Each structure stands twice: as C-alpha cells, then as structure tokens.
Amino acid sequence: MAEDVKPAETPERAYDDRPIHAEPGQLPPEVQAPLAAYKGALPPSPPWFDWAIAQEPERMFVESLGSRLEVLTWGEVGKPGLLFVHGNSAHADWWSFIAPFFAEDYRVASMSLAGMGASDWRDSYSFTDFAEDAEAVSRAAGLYEGGRKPIYIGHSFGGGQVFFAAVSHPERMHAAIMVDTGFGPPPEEMAKRMAQMEAIRNIPTVDRPSRIYATLEEALNRFRLMPPQPAGNPFIADFIARRSLKRVPLPPGETGPDGSGEGWTWRFDPNMWAKLDRQAMMKREQTQVTTTTPLVHIYGAKSRIVEHRKAGAPSPFPAGLLEIEIPDSHHHIMIDQPLALVSALRALLSAWPR
C-alpha cells in the first residue's frame, strides 16, 4: 500500500511494490480507491475473519541495531517457530487474520520492518540490516525454543528479505517461503516507469512529508494497493488500512471536523525507498543463486509477478524451485484469497521440508 509518497531514485532493478504516486482518476475506481464506497464505515465481514482478528496477539517491541521493532506474537513458546514478514509500506497486522490459523501448532511472530508500522524509522535501510532484524525478532519472540530453527514466510518485498536472509544466513532458519515475490519488471517496462516517474510532481520529499488527512474517512479513501489491483475482500483492505494510519497534529492554523487539531497520516517512512541501500541484494539478483535453505514460492495466478516473468523479468530463484499457484488471486494473496493461502501454507508445512 502506498499513496502520496516519494519514489526512490530508480535503481537498476527494483521491486514491484515500491511506492508510485497516482493522481485521482488515473486508475479505475475499484483500484484507485477501493474503500471510498464505504464512506469510512466498516465493510461487512464473514465469521472466519471476525474470529481471526478476535485472536488478539501479544504486542511488544524488540530492540535491533539501535531501533525498536514492532512484533506481534501468537501461540505458545516451545512450539516450532514461524516468522511472518510483510511487504513494502505495510506492517505486522497484514498477517493478523492469517497467523491465528497456525497458533495451535506453532509459536508465530509477525514483525513490522524498520521504517514501517510502529517500528522506528532509520537514517538508512539495507537488506543486511533487515536480515539482522529478523534474527533479533526470532530470538526475542522465542521462535528457536521449539527444538528447531524457525521458518520464515515473507510477502512481496518481505519475501525479498526472506530470500536474502535464506541465502546469506541459511544457518538461521529451517526453511523459507516467499509469497508472490518478484525482482523487478522487464527492462522495457522499467524504462517506461522511469519516464513516468520523471513526470511526477508534488510528491513528498525530506522537507515535505506524507500528506495529513483531516478525517479518517478521507485517509481511508486514499488507501490503495501497490502494484495497483482491486481489493478482493474489502473487509480485509479496510482492516489493513485502518492499522496503516496514525494520529498526528494538523498543520498550524488547521482544525479538523472533530475540533481536536489532529489528522491522520500513514505510518511508514515516506522516504524509505530513497534511503534503501540495495547493493547487497542487487548482487544476489544478477544470477541464480544456490542455498542450503529449503525454499518454496507461492504466487497468485493473476499476479504481475507472473506477467513479468513471462516477459523476461530477472529472477535469482534457484532452478527447479518448488512453486504453488493460488487461483483467482492478484499480488496481494492474503487480501484476495486468504483462506486459500492459509490452506496452502498448512498443507505445505505438514509435509515440507523433509
């Protein structure tokens, strides 16, 4: 998810879900503003979802590299560990309606990456630091206490972090699962994106932070998914969007409708991509890599990841990687087909790795 944020200086290769600004009207309404029709009200939700979010996690902060990282946990310490990692501009609660389905058999943790969710922002970000953060969270959350090393599960940009950690530190994990993880579009599309980004104006910079919205409804109306797609289940998109926001003071002289003097803005660092050092990951992307960590990739049948691959997008995944397709799903599988994702993960974990 991203809106009103600065795109980074475009590297040679970049992940699909990096923030790219779009003015109202540039995308279909169901893509541009999937929650606008609800006018700030909660969309109706099914019983399974209500049950899942009622399983409140323990919320804590873990110190890593001088930063406090937001961590959510479910299940008992002493059971095998699972670490969930979200995508770009997201947060730990993207897994809050998925993780409870594993809490009976696993000690589960979901972390907010540095610069996202309620985790601290940094002056710079790197894949190496994210890998150290994941290890710190796994230790603090008790994911090693079940008699084996934890399994990492990461979506999109978070899948990139999981893959990097699996290749760089195979001794730290039992296995790794990437969920709809890509490594940049084909060269022709990258050139097109660069041209489009050159034309973008009025995007926040270090001196012009993310926009502040006077009301929650206004902020929810600006929520959308990156890469652009419809929100398959609006009740999930709404749950995620509300937890993507924080209260902040309105600009001097402005007062919101509630008279509080506070508005709403996104919780992620708007300059995260400008601060991200991708050199370590780009070295991994140049060629296919080998690792002793068992790997699986789960992807959506309608995802742009698939489109990019068919068009010749690069991928460092090892040849012969086990892959599982989720039907009728775009990139954000936990929004489009959450129960199918749960079923795929549970079936996979019951028999893999051997």
In a domain, 266, yes or no: no
pLDDT > 50? residue 184 = yes
Domain of 176, CATH number, reads: 3.40.50.1820
Query: The domain containing residue 85 runs over which residues?
Result: 55-185+273-351
Question: Whose CA is closest to 231, among 342, 333, 301?
Answer: 333
In a domain, 60, yes or no: yes
What's the CA gap between 264 and 210, in Å, rounded? Answer: 10
What's the CA gap between 354 and 173, in Å, rounded? Answer: 14
- Beta carbons within 8 Å of 32's beta carbon, 6+ residues apart: 22, 24, 25, 26, 224, 228
In a domain, 2, yes or no: no
Q: How confident is the model over 243-286, as pLDDT tens digits?
A: 999 999 998 878 878 888 899 999 999 999 889 987 766 665 55
> What is the model's pLDDT at position 5?
42
In a domain, 123, yes or no: yes
Buried/exposed 83-121: b ≥16 CB within 10 Å, e otherwise = bbbbbbbbbbbbbbbbbbbbbebbbbbbbbbbbbbbbbb
- Predicted TM-score of the model (pTM): 0.88
In a domain, 311, yes or no: yes
pLDDT > 80? residue 40 = yes
Domain count across the chain:
1
pLDDT > 70? residue 202 = no
pLDDT > 60? residue 4 = no
What's the CA gap between 174 and 72, in Å, rounded? Answer: 21
In a domain, 22, yes or no: no
In a domain, 222, yes or no: no
In a domain, 209, yes or no: no
